[in-house]
Amino acid sequence: MIQSDPHPFAFELLATDGRARRGRIRTPHGFVDTPAFMPVGTRATVKGLTAAQLRDTGAQIILANTYHLLLRPGPDEVQRLGGLQTLTNWRGPMLTDSGGFQVFSLNDLRKVDDDGATFQSHIDGAIIRLTPESAMQIQQQLGADIIMAFDECPPLPAEGAVVERAVRRSIDWARRCREAHRIPHQALYGIVQGGLDVGLRRRCLAALTEIGFEGYALGGLSVGEPPPQMWAFLDEFAHEMPVDRPRYLMGVGTPRDLVEAVNAGIDQFDCVLPTRNGRKGYAFTSQGVIRLKNAVHRGDAGPLDPACDCETCRGYSRGYLRHLFIVEEALGPTLVSIHNLAFYQRLMREMRAAIAEQRFAAWRQSFLQGPLAQARKEEE
């Protein structure tokens, strides 16, 4: 079991190779090695997996969603039940987002003004108001080690005036979040907005660093722009974020996205892709993306990925996994989700080792020549 650490949040940069960084984050619930991938537990659960199964994949930190936990079971109940770590039996570090992404993703159910956002619950139609102050209060009740400032995430592409307004609001809301932040052992990250406009991003970053945060995130990417545009933007901008604080790219992405972002200087990631794809029977492997419902896997006695030593690959054949999906047994999504998360964690370990050993450029070049480099999100 991961033991609680009584010391406050801190970030240590251990090695660099080009712009790629190897570091370690200290939280009250333990350490996180970076670059780090955080499995997404939207409703305080990574769908279909126990805390023990998550630990076995190599995960060190997981993410939960403020908006969804506000709706059910509610922050008061989470607090009464001991906070997120006790509630979920995940005794390691946790991060909660602020609900800001729902300002973007629930477009038909919300209205945004300079003070905050009003949502219509997708569950029962109830009207909910989120402001920077209430987002802080909710996340403090949830009890995660890292919490996020409330921000506005514009879609891409978007008119310049829309992106500029989102930047203005995100800066103002970040200042209000900083003022409302009350729990010293919870690290608060600011979120840099600005679309693909490097000038706007720099303006937002300058304002956020003046306010001062324990870490800095890039929001508003992988929201409609072509991946090469995102990679080019990261290459131009990510290294300008504070050197002595963690750099977090929110909601990204494919294995290629992670490699390009680490190459640009990013430290933390989260994405639903490995578990969402796992529930569909799509597996990330050393041989490329495998679609288990395809007939070619019928009767295949081989492992899902011969290069993987996760529970799924050690104990179950491709033919059996295909059978589980064909007959719609719940074990199938669980086993492929376990594998996909283990694959992502192994990818992060390989990058950490390559950075520490000053061979990241060669490692990246080898990856770009491999079967996963051209995998597209819409195919997965």
Residues annotated as catalytic are 97, 270
Cα distances from 175 to residues 61, 150, 230, in angstroms, run 26, 10, 27
Buried b (16+ CB within 10 A) or exposed e, 33-58: bbbbbbbbbbebbbbbbebebbbbbb
* Residue 371 tokens, joined: 């079967």
Q: In degrees rounded to 5, what are phi and psi of residue 219? A: -105, 175
Q: Residue 56 in contact with residue 311, Cβ under 8 Å?
A: yes
Alpha helices in the chain (DSSP H): 51-56, 66-71, 75-80, 84-88, 100-105, 132-142, 160-180, 198-211, 227-237, 255-264, 273-280, 311-315, 318-326, 331-356, 360-368
For residue 27, which amino acid is it?
Answer: T
Other Cβ atoms closer than 10 A to 235: 15
Tell me the HSE value of 201 on the side-chain side, using a 13 A CA sphere.
18
Burial class (CB in 10 A: 0-12, 13-18, 19+), 226: exposed
By C-alpha distance, which of 339, 305, 303 is closest to 320? 303
By C-alpha distance, which of 33, 25, 26 is closest to 7? 26
d(Cα 190, Cα 174) in Å, to the nearest integer? 6
* Bond into 8 cis (ω within 30): no
